[in-house]
Amino acid sequence: MTWADAVPNLLIGLREGLEAGLVVSILLAAVHRSGPTSADGGRVSSAPVWLGVLGAVMVAGSFAAVLTFSTSVLSSRAQEAVGGVLSVLAVGLVTGMVFWMRRAAATLSAHLRGEVERAAAVGAGALTLTAFLAVGREGLETTLFLWAAVKASGSTAAPLAGAGVGLAAAVVVCWLLYRQAVRINLGVFFRRTALALIVIAAGVLAYGLGDLQEAGWLAGRQWIAFDLTAHVDPNTWWMAIITGATEWAPKMTVLQVVAWLVYLGIVIPAFVYAGRSGVSPPAVATNAGRPVAARPAARPAGPGDRAAGGRWEQVAARRVWPVAGVLVAVPALVAGLVIVALPAASAATTTAVTVTKTTCAKDWTAGHVGTQTFTVHNTSGRAGEVNLDNASGGVVAEIETLGPGTTADLTATLGPGSYTVTCLMSGQPVTSSGLVEVGGRQTSTTTAVKPVTLADLTGPNTAYQKYAAGDLVTVAKDAARIRADLAGGNIAAAKADRLTAQLDWERVGASYDSFGDEGLAVDGLPDGLPDGVDDRDFTGLHRLEYGLYHGQSAARLLPVVDQLNTDIATVQRKLTSDDIAGDPTNLPIRAHEILEDALRDHLSGLDDQGADAAYPQTYADTQVTDTVLGELAPLITARAPTLLPHLDAQLATLQQALLATRHAGRWRPVGPTPRADRQRVTAAIGAALETLSSVPDLLEVPPSH
What is the sign of the dihedral through the CA atoms of 27, 29, 34 and 39? Answer: positive
In the beta sheet, which residues pair with residue 633?
none
| Greatest mean pLDDT range, 41-45, 210-214, 602-606 | 602-606
pLDDT tens, 106-116? 555 565 566 66
CB-CB contact of 305 with 111 (8 Å) = yes
pLDDT in tens, 336-349: 787 777 655 444 45
Asked if 671 and 623 count as a contact pair (C-beta separation under 8 A), the reply is: no
CA 606 to CA 599: how far, in whole Å?
A: 10
> Where does the pLDDT of residue 39 fall: very low under 50, low under 70, confident under 90, or very high at 90 and above?
very low
The C-alpha angle 485, 491, 497, rounded to 5 degrees, equals 55
Stretch 642-647: mean pLDDT: 93
694 pLDDT band, cuts 50/70/90, is: confident
pLDDT digits (tens, 9 = 90+) for 459-487: 999 999 999 999 999 999 999 999 999 99
What is the SS3 string spanning 78-98? Answer: HHHHHHHHHHHHHHHHHHHHH
In the chain, DSSP finds a helix count (H) and a strand count (E) of 20, 12
Checking if the pLDDT of 542 tops 80, the result is yes
DSSP lists the bridge partners of residue 422 as: 387, 432
Sign of CA pseudo-dihedral 414, 415, 418, 424: negative
Query: Would the pLDDT of 127 be above 60?
Result: yes
Rounded to the nearest integer, the mean pLDDT of the chain is 79
Smallest Cα–Cα separation from 441: which of 420, 417, 421?
Answer: 417
pLDDT, mean of residues 306-323: 51
CA-to-CA separations, 454 to 9, 49, 384, 588, in angstroms, rounded: 41, 66, 19, 12
Three-state DSSP at 278 gives coil
**Residue 697: pLDDT above 70?**
yes
What is the pLDDT averaged over residues 126-140?
A: 73
Helices (H), 488-585: 491-506, 516-523, 541-549, 554-574
> What does each C-alpha distance from 63 to 56, 59, 159 come to in angstroms?
11, 6, 18
Most confident of 296-305, 343-352, 492-501: 492-501
Lowest mean pLDDT among 199-208, 244-253, 632-641, 679-688: 244-253
Q: Which residue has the higher pLDDT, 45 or 35?
A: 45
Using CA atoms of 336, 337, 339, 344 in order, give the dihedral in degrees to the nearest 10: 140
8 Å CB contact between 252 and 225: yes
CA distance 379 to 355: 6
1.20.1420.20, 3.40.50.1220, 3.90.550.60, 1.20.58.1690: which CATH number matches 454-698? 1.20.1420.20
The pLDDT of residue 223 is above 60: yes
Type of residue numbered 285: A
Residue 514 scores a pLDDT above 50:
yes
pLDDT of 313 reads 47
399 pLDDT above the threshold of 50 = yes
Q: What is the pLDDT of residue 236?
A: 59
Q: What is the mean pLDDT of residues 122-138?
A: 68
Nearest residue to 630 via CA among 414, 406, 380, 460: 460
Give the residues across from 355 on adjacent strands. Answer: 360, 378
| Most confident region among 33-42, 191-200, 407-416, 653-662 by mean pLDDT | 653-662
- How many angstroms separate the Cα of 651 from the Cα of each of 450, 471, 616, 695? 26, 21, 15, 14
Which class in CATH covers the domain with range 346-438?
mainly beta
Work out the end-to-end distance of the chain between its first and last CA atoms, rounded to an integer number of angstroms: 29
Residue of 215, 220, 247, 253 lying closest to 234 (CA atoms)? 247
Highest mean pLDDT pick, 28-37, 416-425, 551-560: 551-560
Strand partners, 524: none
| Residue-wise pLDDT tens digits, 61-91 | 888 888 777 666 565 566 677 777 878 887 8
Measured CA angle at 406 (ends 400, 411), to 5 deg: 50
Judged against a pLDDT cut of 70, whether residue 240 lies above it is answered with no
> What's the rounded Cα separation, in Å, for the pair 31 and 38?
10
- Give the helix ranges, DSSP H, for 123-156: 124-153
365-384 pLDDT per residue, tens: 888 888 888 889 888 888 78
Strand pairing report for 349-355 and 370-378: parallel
